[in-house]
Amino acid sequence: MSTLKEILTRRPVAATIRLTVPAGGARPAPPVGPALGQYRLNLMAFCKDFNARTQKYKPDTPMSVTITAFKDNTFEFTVKSPSVTWYLKKAAGIESGSSRPGHLVATTLSVRHIYEIAKIKQSDPYCQYMSLESICKSIIGTASTMGIKVVKDLD
């Protein structure tokens, strides 16, 4: 975050754009096109850069990317891994969480799933200082707000 501040003081920022783009699938079409085109950013350069940096993810996982557009039509962007809720939904194979979390259980997941998700999340910039155990705990917390129960072993 401190480097972002340095950048902000260096060049005047025109806008901050948040997008969800599938990994390796950025194209000059909506959602990328209209959002970036408005600030005359080089769409193709962004698409190529983004696709190259997300090659290591499974294709089409939705990545959230934050783009800082500067007034001189240049830009910088950071890519975050998909949200925990997305991983949980994919692991459980459900479309959406339970409609009444806390009361109605949508599905169950085993501790192994949580562990795998935590390992992926550990490479996220803001999770790096947390121990794996605390990442797991926060994932379990998110799961319970979605109505997903976590058990030791799935039968």
Partner 1 sequence: MALRHFFKHLTILTSSYGFCTLSSRFIHPSLTTLFNNINPKTQPLIPTKFSLPLSHCYTSVSHPSTSTLLSPYLSVRIRCPKDIADVFSEALMCFGATSTTVDEDDNCDTSNEICIESIFPESEDVDVCISQAADSVGLKMIPSYEVKTGEHYDWIKKTQESFDPVEVTEGLWIVPEWKTPPDVKATNIILNPGLAFGTGEHPTTRLCLLLLQRLIKGGERFLDYGTGSGILAIAALKFGASFSVGIDIDPLAITSAHHNAALNDIGLENFQLRLVSSNTSSPSTDEHKDIQKQTSFEAVAESEHETYDVIVANILLNPLLELADDIVSHAMPGAGIGLSGILSEQVPCIIDRCSPLLDNISVSEIDDWACLSGTKKLTGN
Counting contacts by CB under 8 A, is residue 72 touching partner 1?
Answer: no
Reference 88, options 130, 133, 135, 140; nearest CA is 140
Question: In this structure, what token pair is assigned to residue 27?
Answer: 């194209």
Those residues whose C-beta lies under 8 Å from the C-beta of residue 71, and which sit 6 or more positions away, are 11, 12, 13, 14
Strand-strand pairing, 148-151 and 107-110: parallel
**CB 36 → partner 1: shortest distance, Å?**
8
Q: What separation, in Å, do the N-terminal and C-terminal C-alpha atoms of the chain show? A: 44
Q: Which of 17, 79, 118, 139 binds partner 1 (CB under 8 A)?
A: 17
Using CB under 8 A as the binding rule, whether residue 102 contacts partner 1 is answered as no
- Give me the least distance between CB of 103 and partner 1, in Å please: 19
Q: Which of 15, 105, 127, 150 binds partner 1 (CB under 8 A)?
A: 15
d(CA 78, CA 105): 35
Please report, as residue ranges, which positions from 104 to 143 form the binding site for partner 1 (by CB under 8 A). Answer: 112-113, 115-116
Binding site for partner 1 (CB under 8 A): 12-20, 22, 24-25, 27-38, 40-45, 47-48, 51-53, 55, 59-60, 62, 64, 73, 83, 86, 89-96, 112-113, 115-116
